[in-house]
Amino acid sequence: MKRRLYTPALVAALLLAGCANMDTNALMQSGATAAQAAMLTDSDVQQLSVASCQDQDSKNQIAAASSTYVKRLANVSKGLPTSVNGAPLNFKVYQTKDVNAWAMANGCVRVYSGLMDLMTDDEVRAVLGHEIGHVALGHTKKAAQVAYSVSAARGAAGSVGGTVGALSKSQLADLGEQLVNAQFSQKQESQADDYSFDLLKSKGYNPQALVTSFQKLAKLDGGQSSIMSSHPASADRAKHIQDRIASGK
């Protein structure tokens, strides 16, 4: 899956260029929404992430606390950070055959049972490290800004103030879907990989699991799994981590 990061300014330009049939007020509001997205505060992003995560939770089957998946995830995540950038990490399992995992800026981390079926505990931990890295490094905040700009401006309706309150139910659902499928840049993906490597090593876990997780994902969908971008390719990412292990750095 190719991932392209759109800045709020570029989103505004694209929206304005493609909305010839919209009236002037709608066009101006689209631009205003994109501009507001660029100025979203950490608090705004937290609100959007909480609402988006709640929307996703309502649409998916969450594994019961007594399930093997939840108990296993609790054990796997035991040595990982409990909070990032002041946001408590909240782990849940979606019961689905899909192979995926994601995190949002508010610390919402969701792992799909299909991924847990595919991977060992060490590999699941490595994937969690990658997703937590996107939060810790501010990638999910930038993704929320872009998603807000696109979701709100598509409707070009309602007040641009109030962030969450300005979005309709359908726009909020659309924003949630965008955050789950956030299109991170190649640089961001590599940074999250390195974050996971450093985290695993600092906690005494074997970073080789990050390599084998990439190798397994590379076999899915011709190397284009829903969880990992193929830019850079999973094989290249595995090699990068393997080189770091070999160098000891």
The predicted-structure confidence for 25-55, as pLDDT tens digits, reads as follows 333 344 445 555 566 788 888 888 898 899 9
Give the relative orientation of helices 42-59 and 139-155 as an angle to the nearest 10 degrees: 80
**pLDDT for the residue numbered 156:** 40
**pLDDT for the residue numbered 35:** 57
For the chain, list residues with pLDDT below 50.
Answer: 1-32, 156-161, 223-225, 230-231
Residue-range domain boundaries for the chain: 8-247
**pLDDT for the residue numbered 230:** 44
Q: Could you give the C-alpha distances from 197 to 87, 90, 135, 152, 206, in angstroms and in order?
A: 21, 21, 15, 36, 9
Predicted TM-score of the model (pTM): 0.77
Catalytic residue numbers, as ranges: 131
**pLDDT for the residue numbered 155:** 56
Check if the beta carbon of residue 102 is closer than 8 Å to that of residue 196: no
